[in-house]
Amino acid sequence: MPAKKIPTIKRKLSTASETVALLVPEKLAKLVHYLRREKVILDSDLAELYGVDTGALNRAVKRNTDRFPDDFMFQLTD
């Protein structure tokens, strides 16, 4: 399955020549899925939002579990 592109709007800052990607709430809401009556965002979508690899995001969460609420992450089992 091809990777999804996270919907953003790029704008130039008036004080700098940098381009900033702004998240659009209406389009960001499309990344939220319902799974077992819970709202979830896939780790691949979160990783793209933060600009990191999915594996790097998952490793960071595992290394810093005390910084996240208990319901932040779960794993599906067969």
Is residue 16 assigned to a domain?
no
What pLDDT, in 10s, does the model give residues 15-38? 544 445 567 787 788 889 998 888
13 within a domain of the structure (yes/no): no
Confidence (pTM): 0.61
**Residue 75: inside a domain:** no
Look at 11 and 22; give whichever has higher pLDDT: 22
Task: Report residue 22 CA to chain centroid gap.
Answer: 13
- Residue 36 CA to residue 39 CA, distance in Å, equals 8
Token pair in block for residue 53: 């690899």
Q: Is residue 21 assigned to a domain?
A: no
Give the pLDDT confidence score for residue 74 in this predicted structure. 74
Counted domains in the chain? 1
Which residues span the domain enclosing 37?
Answer: 1-8+29-68
